[in-house]
């Protein structure tokens, strides 16, 4: 593999064995303080890493399902990865019930790994597939802070429905500023590569529809 997949990870993960193994695998690591998940592999794949002890604690305090709700709302293909499978505070029946709820109610697979190194190899392979075979990019929208003005601009455009990193960059390059994107007509939006009638209509709808509270 000549290409290096880029993996955005929560900066609190930097000292983990998973991050260390990813570095050894020659992944390009981009630490940030993340609001959702621990590893972002593409615009649709986010991974929450837990030890079996963490999984137990999150089942007991209910945090697991609030995290699952946030992940499923923000990413198309979220994953929960668990290191180990030994439980001391909850019965296996409770773990099984949590797994069923994650899969059926939240559409989130829960994967178990024997070691953090095994998880790192899975993360690397998945990031490689997403970025070099599927041609998907890292999504900036759900990191807490971006330093560069260009990243802030991309984040704003990415927040539009049906617009991912590739389309956001294309729109900014075509129009030159966020303001010009907001003021463009549907026809002008379609002049941008990758923006067809459906996307153009959705963009204008977001910008022009009256605000209605529930």
Q: Domain range holding 178?
A: 149-208
Q: What is the CATH number of the domain that holds 100?
A: 3.40.50.10130
Tell me the pLDDT tens digit for each residue of 40-67.
999 899 999 999 999 999 999 999 999 9
d(CA 5, CA 124): 7
Rounded to the nearest integer, the mean pLDDT of the chain is: 88
Tell me the pLDDT tens digit for each residue of 138-188.
765 554 455 578 878 888 888 787 787 788 889 999 999 999 999 999 999
Q: Are 78 and 72 in contact (CB under 8 A)?
A: yes
**pTM to 2 decimals?**
0.68
Does 158 lie in the same domain as 73?
A: no
Please tell me what DSSP assigns to residue 14: T
Q: What is the CATH number of the domain that holds 158?
A: 1.10.150.20
Q: List Cβ neighbours of 160 (8 Å cut-off, separation of 6 or more).
A: 168, 202, 203, 206
Closest residue by Cα to residue 136 from 1, 32, 7: 7
- Among candidate residues 77, 109, 133, the one where a domain is terminated: 133
């Amino acid at each position: 593999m000549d290409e290096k997949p880029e993996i955005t990870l929560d900066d609190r993960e930097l000292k983990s064995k998973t991050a260390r193994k990813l570095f050894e695998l020659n992944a390009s690591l981009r630490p940030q303080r993340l609001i959702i998940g621990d590893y972002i592999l593409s615009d649709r794949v986010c991974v929450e890493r837990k030890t079996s002890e963490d999984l137990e604690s999150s089942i007991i305090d209910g945090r697991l399902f609030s995290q699952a709700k946030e992940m499923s709302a923000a990413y198309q293909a979220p994953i929960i990865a668990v290191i180990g499978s030994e439980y001391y505070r909850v019965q296996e029946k409770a773990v099984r019930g949590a797994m069923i709820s994650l899969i059926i109610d939240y559409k989130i697979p829960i994967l178990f790994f024997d070691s953090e190194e095994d998880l790192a190899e899975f993360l690397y392979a998945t990031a490689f597939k997403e970025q070099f075979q599927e041609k998907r990019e890292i999504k900036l929208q759900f990191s807490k802070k971006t330093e560069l003005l260009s990243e802030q601009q991309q984040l704003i455009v990415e927040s539009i429905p049906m617009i991912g990193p590739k389309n956001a960059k294309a729109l900014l390059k075509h129009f030159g500023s966020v303001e010009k994107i907001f003021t463009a007509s549907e026809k002008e939006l379609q002049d941008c590569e990758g923006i067809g009638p459906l996307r153009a209509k959705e963009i204008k709808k977001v910008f022009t529809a009256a605000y209605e509270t529930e």
